[in-house]
Structure 1
């Protein structure tokens, strides 16, 4: 459990394994004034649900990165689910995700 949390922390702060530096995969999806960019990464024989929610503002680009516990057998499946989770986060939190 501790190694999982350490790996997750390293991915969130941008250090650790090479997978932490993978570029978003797939096209960004526009949703309610936000952009959702899927960014799944290889993890334990599957792909971890992860993505980036972006929004342009007067202060510049705002960005929120998310990682979820779900894994998928293919990168495409994980990317599609990241879009779904991104929409859910936007619906539940809106601009509060950037505070």
Structure 2
């Protein structure tokens, strides 16, 4: 369990080698003034739910990265679920995610 948490923290904090972190796999989805960019990555025989939520402000673009515990058998399924989770985060927190 500790190694899973360490890996998730490393990915959220931007650690690890460039090969470990995957770029967004699909075009951004616009939702309520935000952009959701799914970015699942390979993990333990599946793909981890992960992505970025972006929004443009007068001071520039802000980004919030998220990783969830769910894994999926395919990258496409993980990307679709990341969009769903991104929408849920936006609905629950709105601009507070950038604090």
TM-score (norm 1): 0.95
Q: What do the CA deviations read for 1:1-20 (whole angstroms, capped 9, x no partner)? A: 11111111111111125222
State the superposition RMSD in angstroms. 0.8
Mapped to 1, the partners of 2:41 and 2:25 lie a distance apart of 9
Mapped to 2, the partners of 1:16 and 1:55 lie a distance apart of 26
Deviation at 1:97, TM superposition (A): 0.4
Alignment partner, residue 12 of structure 2: 12
Q: How does 1:49-64 map to 2 (within 5 A)?
A: 49-64=49-64
TM-score (norm 2): 0.95
Mapped to 2, the partners of 1:16 and 1:43 lie a distance apart of 14
Runs of 4+ in 1 over 3 A off after TM superposition: none
Deviation at 1:49, TM superposition (A): 0.2
Mapped to 2, the partners of 1:8 and 1:84 lie a distance apart of 20
Mapped to 2, the partners of 1:60 and 1:16 lie a distance apart of 27
2:63 is paired with a residue of what secondary structure? strand
Q: Tell me, which stretches of 5 or more residues in structure 1 are unaligned?
A: none
1:68 is paired with a residue of what secondary structure? strand
